[in-house]
Structure 1
Amino acid sequence: MAAYSKAQKLKAKRGRPSLPAAEREANGRKSRRKSAVVLRLIETEKEVKSVAVANRVKMGMSIKEADTQEAGSALGRLHLLNPDEITKVQYEAGMRMAKDYARYYALTGIPFPTIKAHDVRGVRGHSNVDRPDCARAAANRIMKIEQALGEVDMSGRPVTSVTKKVCVRDEAEGMHLPHMVQYLKRGLTALAQHYELT
């Protein structure tokens, strides 16, 4: 309804703002028809994506880069913002490491080491593994990754910890410091050789 008089305009501003336009049932509830639900989900996804893209643009990315899949991870953002520092091969090696760790945690029942994945009411770990042969293969893969990172690591394991922090836990704190980027580059180079991507 369009407000024409001054009184109607003031009345429209007062009180609770009107709900966004959505298809509704006769009782006022949002429509539960499948087409209406799908449309609402698509609109919600677009809103969430626009917020994420806007935040990435604030970091210094172009809108085209911010909308890519690579911009969704800490390692991908480092690659997009500093392509001379983190190469495409290093990025791919880091993503393969992340997939190997995710598979290892899923098969062994170990909770993923990030606060985003924790369930307060959930059980920590499983004593019985459904597929022990797959779990053993995943564990062997992780041991080889640890060995490859350990060979280039200095005392105190900074290369391993920084590489896991960025690739596995998807955290980027401190990655503006040059020595942290150098540790990450060394780890990713070792991973690229391990995965035979170079």
Structure 2
Amino acid sequence: MFEASTRIAAAKRAGKAGRPRKADVARYPGGQIKHGETEREVRSVAIAARQSHHFSGAKGVDVGSPFAGYTLGRMFLDGKLTAHERAAGDEYARQMARYYSLTGIPFPSVRAQSLFSVKGFEGETTERTRAAMAATNRMMELEGVLLKLPEGPRVKTTVFNVCVMDYEVLRTMPEPQLAWLKRGLTELHWHLGLSREREAV
């Protein structure tokens, strides 16, 4: 009798100790809460991190936009690049990524390469080798377009470092370097035929 009353008193004390149990929470049979994050919760954490890391002083910027996920897009959201220039940079990056994936060269950005899945291709002409040759020719064509511009090597390097290498430090590049980037992206825009009408300057 004494033991039963002691057990009941201990259970009552334990029930009152600590914070109250959360209501309407999925639990395991042992009473532990099932931890499962929803897509909305994960997205909110990612957006908050992006806001604090890349847009800490900015107001009115759509941090949830897909453009906020890479340097060229962030420069577009900052108002440094036009939509035409951003589209040209995206297409240039897409063509370069195609070239690197088809030729077996690891993508130069450390954040995007897999060192253990790089493979070359055989000497015979297959569909893959034809695609790799086409991608190589396209890459050389785009580089030629950039190199023919005034101060071509600087323009090409700036465009490559922003669009392909995704260097965040270039988001705050000085005005002369920004002019090289804009010149290269504008020339790529018209060469790639992304728009039939020239943008008003």
| Superposition TM-score, scaled by structure 2 size | 0.72
* CA displacement at 1:104 relative to structure 2: 1.4
Aligned to 1:103: 98
* CA displacement at 1:80 relative to structure 2: 1.8
Larger radius of gyration: 2
The letter of the residue matching 1:117 is: A
Give deviations 1:83-104, integer Å, cap 9, x for gaps: xx42111111001001111111
Tell me if 1:86 matches 2:89: no
> Identity over aligned residues, as a percent?
27
Separation (CA, whole Å) in 1 of partners of 2:59 and 2:162: 19
The letter of the residue matching 1:131 is: R
* CA displacement at 1:56 relative to structure 2: 3.6
Separation (CA, whole Å) in 2 of partners of 1:116 and 1:81: 23
The correspondence of residues 1-198 of structure 1 with structure 2, limited to 5 A, is 23-26=26-29, 39-63=37-61, 65-82=62-79, 85-119=80-114, 122=116, 125-128=118-121, 131-154=128-151, 157-176=153-172, 177-196=174-193, 197=195, 198=198
User: Number of paired residues?
Assistant: 173
* CA displacement at 1:112 relative to structure 2: 0.8
Separation (CA, whole Å) in 1 of partners of 2:25 and 2:133: 51
* CA displacement at 1:69 relative to structure 2: 1.5
The letter of the residue matching 2:50 is: A
Separation (CA, whole Å) in 2 of partners of 1:28 and 1:165: 53
Give the 3-state SS of the residue equivalent to 1:173 in structure 2. helix
Asked whether the 8 Å contact 2:99–2:139 carries over to 1, the reply is yes
The letter of the residue matching 1:150 is: L
Alpha-carbon RMSD across the aligned residues, in angstroms, is 3.1
Asked whether the 8 Å contact 1:56–1:66 carries over to 2, the reply is no
* CA displacement at 1:144 relative to structure 2: 0.9
* CA displacement at 1:29 relative to structure 2: 7.3
* CA displacement at 1:182 relative to structure 2: 1.1
The letter of the residue matching 1:26 is: P
Give the 3-state SS of the residue equivalent to 1:147 in structure 2. helix
Gaps (5+ residues) in structure 2? 1-15
Give the 3-state SS of the residue equivalent to 2:55 in structure 1. helix
Task: Check 1:27–1:40 CA distance in 2 against 1; reply closer, same or farther (3 A cut).
Answer: farther
Asked whether the 8 Å contact 1:104–1:139 carries over to 2, the reply is yes
Task: Check 1:188–1:59 CA distance in 2 against 1; reply closer, same or farther (3 A cut).
Answer: farther
Give the 3-state SS of the residue equivalent to 1:137 in structure 2. helix
Gaps (5+ residues) in structure 1? 1-7, 13-20
